[in-house]
Amino acid sequence: MTTFGLVPGAGGSAWYWSRVVPLLEQRGHTAIAVDLPATDDSAGFDEYADVVAAAIGERDDLVLVGQSMGGFTVPLVCDRIPVARLVLVNAMIPTPGESGGEWWTATGQGPAQRELDRREGRDPDAEFDPAVTFLHDVPADVVATGADENQFQSGTPFEKPWPRPAWPDVPTRVIASRDDRLFPVDFQVRVARERLGITPEIVPGGHLVALSYPAELAAAIQSDRGDDR
C-alpha cells in the first residue's frame, strides 16, 4: 500500500494531521505525520526538508502531502528521498529564488484575502483573529484538544530564497478548500494554474481542512482525480 508523508504548515505541528492519519491507516496505508523545527531560528526550508526525509526514510510509493507553508518544503524533500507523488493542500506554491516572505506580495495574497473579507461581510482591516481566519469551521472539541499544540513559527524560512531551480519532475496534485479565508479558493486556483499549470481539486472546509473535514480530505488525498503536472 501507499505511504503518506504528511507535512504541516506554519507552526510545524504533526498534530495538525491527527484526524487524517487514522482514516488513511484504516484503508491499509502507512501515514507518517512529521513535526518540524518551527521554533528553531537556525532552521529554514532546507532544514525542514532534512527533518522530513529523516522522519520518513526511503519508502516504496511515497506520497508527500504539504499543507500551507509545507508547499515550500515538500518539493525539496524530492532531492533527498524518492517521492512518487506530491499533493499540495491549501499550499503556498513557490517559484525559484522566491522567499516565503516575498511569496505573499508576488502572488497577490493580501488583496485576495481583503476582497474575500469584504465579499463575506468581514472587516478587512480588523485585527488578526485566528478564530475567524483559521478555526471558523473546526469543531470546538478539536480546537480544545489542540490548544497546547500551537507552536511559535520562526521567521527564518520566510527570509531565505527557495533553493530549487524548478518544480521537481514529480506528479503533483493541488487540493484547495472552498471556504479558506486565508488563501481564498479563487486565489488558489489562479496561483496553481499560473505556477504549475494545474487546476486544483476543490474540497469543503477552511484553511485547516485536515481538522475540520478530515474524511473529505483523506478521500481527496487518496484519489487519483485532479490535474497532474
- Summarised one tens digit per residue, pLDDT across range 88-99 is 999 999 999 999
Whether the CB-CB separation of 187 and 107 falls below 8 Å is answered with yes
Q: At CB < 8 A and 24+ separation, what contacts does 105-113 make?
A: 107/187, 107/191, 108/187, 109/182, 109/183, 109/187, 112/183, 112/184, 112/186, 112/187, 113/181, 113/182, 113/183, 113/184, 113/187
Nearest to 100 by CA among 17, 38, 180: 38
pLDDT digits (tens, 9 = 90+) for 103-143: 999 999 999 999 999 999 999 999 999 999 999 999 999 99
Cβ count within 10 A of residue 58: 9
pTM of the model: 0.95
- Alpha helix positions (H), 120-226: 130-133, 140-145, 156-159, 185-196, 209-212, 214-222
In CATH, 3-222 is 3.90.1150.10: no
Which tens digits make up the pLDDT trace of 15-61?
Answer: 999 999 999 999 999 999 999 999 999 999 999 999 999 999 999 99
d(CA 170, CA 86): 7
Neighbours of 146 (CB within 10 A): 17
Quote the DSSP letter at residue 139: -
Residue given cell 491527527 in the structure block? 18
Query: What pLDDT sits at residue 225?
Result: 52
Cell digits for 166? Answer: 524548478
d(CA 22, CA 31): 8
Q: What is the pLDDT of residue 228?
A: 58
Which residues fall within 8 angstroms of residue 78, CB to CB, at 6 or more apart?
64, 86, 168, 170
For residue 64, the SS3 value is strand
Residue 223's pLDDT band, with cuts at 50, 70 and 90, is confident
Please determine, for residue 229, whether its predicted confidence score (pLDDT) is greater than 70: no
| Mean pLDDT computed over every residue of the chain | 95
Q: pLDDT of 188-200, one tens digit each?
A: 999 999 999 999 9
Region 51-72: mean pLDDT is: 97
Cα atoms in the 13 Å half-sphere on the side-chain side of 200? 27
* Three cell numbers, residue 27: 484503508
